[in-house]
Structure 1
Amino acid sequence: MRDTYSGPRDRRADPLETIWLDALPEDAVPPYEAALQTVCRSVALFRDEATDTWRLEGVRPQGAGEEELAGALALAAVVTGHDAALQAAPVEAEGWLARTAQAFGEQEIGGDFLIRPTHLPATRVYGRTVLVLDAGIAFGSGEHASTRGCLVAFARAQKDRRRMRRILDLGTGSGILAMAAAKRRRRPVLATDIEPWSVRVAEQNAAMNGVGRLVRARLADGWGERHVRGGRPYDLVFANILARPLCAMAKHMANGLAPGGTAILAGLLGTQARMVLAAHRRHGLRLERALPVGPWTTLVLRKAA
């Protein structure tokens, strides 16, 4: 799942607006979430238990990316068969930034990681790997269940003393997973994304966290880019994307993993886990564990040694 990001230096009081979609069925959530992420600085998901539907809410500069958003929403409607009406209301930039900073406190993830926002003072922490991120990061800050699931899965795989010399982070977003692997393993990590701004952000975050020389951020679309192909076979691959793209690249994932290699897949709802798992099983990967976090699920797959 790609991460939406406003940038640590983007602190101007530009007018913002909240946009939202109501009454979405569960299966329509991932495509519409991805659509809002094309233009939004922040995306949140809310479930209405009474109707068993979802509300998606995002924040963007007023009127930003109208054509891009319209195209993404149209595609989501075709994919899901559900036509959702977009609504909008203004919000003050400074108020949003203040609320974001106030709400984004330190987060402990499992017993292994601590996510610390830049607006909090640096204090020494024992027994955890600290990842410093800006409060403007919405996804990729560790708050989203998919990111949390990936970090917990990585920590467990590492405790199993897995070989992790070659590491790939597909759809790196803020770079949080690549940084976690680089800090823990002290090995180079190739971090790729299809968005140029995401590549820049991942580079900035890696430098801020002291792993700028280990995290190599590259613009790439999946497995076809030469840097990705050249790094094969990988001992560990993170793919925090969406269910359908994960299914589409299952064969490439199997071919790209080293014998005994681990794939950590996320960005899928629990109801989509069976579909994603079936696609990868057809290419010889086996399920090691599934980690549900709220409505989302993280799958840990392994290639036979």
Structure 2
Amino acid sequence: MKPIQTDWQHLRFGVEIEFVGGTPERLERLPGWTMSLDERQTDDSGEESGSELKPPPLQWKDREQIRVMLARLQAQKAIANWSCGLHVHVSLEPWGKEAILQLIEAALRYQEAVKQLLQTSADRLIYCPPVTRELLERYQSDPTEAALCHKGRPQSHRCGINLAAWFWNKTVEIRYANGSLDYNEVINTVEFCLRFVAAIGTGRKLPCDPQAMASELGAPISGYPRPLPAPRWYRERMWLEEAFVPVLAPLASSLVQGGEILHIRPDADGILVVIEDAKGKPHPYRLQLPSTGWDATRLRSNDHSIV
């Protein structure tokens, strides 16, 4: 990729704001802002709650829109809890697809520092697996979206520095930040991501120490969303899920060709298992274990209470 000097304040960006509580279907939105009502989070009782709020493509000069929308969420008593994340998309339009290889290499070098700077909660790491050298080699031989997706567990196919986003909206997505509805924390995260991508696009070499990296970039050294511990019941659910995955993986691949388990949940009528196919489409099943082995019942994929 040819290095291109770009003012980070001129890069377009988006931010996915996850929250619980509130009444998202009734939130008054600024023009172009959208609410993904099918993107639900988990409240402290284990119930699905909240949603994910997203702006249209913005520039730094438009950031006041974020303050307005966060205030409206807070007025509805919405909060960001331990289940929420803050995902920043930064446009790669100045560089084009040629930026992907350089950003993969940058991820291999800096992703640990980015994770430490943004203080990613241990309970959220399953949603932002690392970029690997295997992914780099796979993309070098097959420069497609599929090559950029994490394979197998953790359950998310989108890496912490997610280059597959190029094929969706010409961006790179940085997923490491914890959730927040605090304007300063959100905007500090956006600023870091913009400065980081702009620096990689110019070919700069950065320190691998988190604070030194932020200082070199001119980004905030602190003031990012704090990690919040998940409740004990959630951690126990995840321990149980991890124990079930190797047991149910052969069944999942027989039910959905090329399928991988997205998540496993206990249910009054059995065990709910959601399997992602090769294209990322979820296929929910309810499993029961009679004496003869597993019985699997296909469920409606549009029932968001189970996916």
Normalised to the residue count of structure 2, the TM-score between the two structures is 0.24
More strand by share: 1
* Structure number with bigger Rg: 2
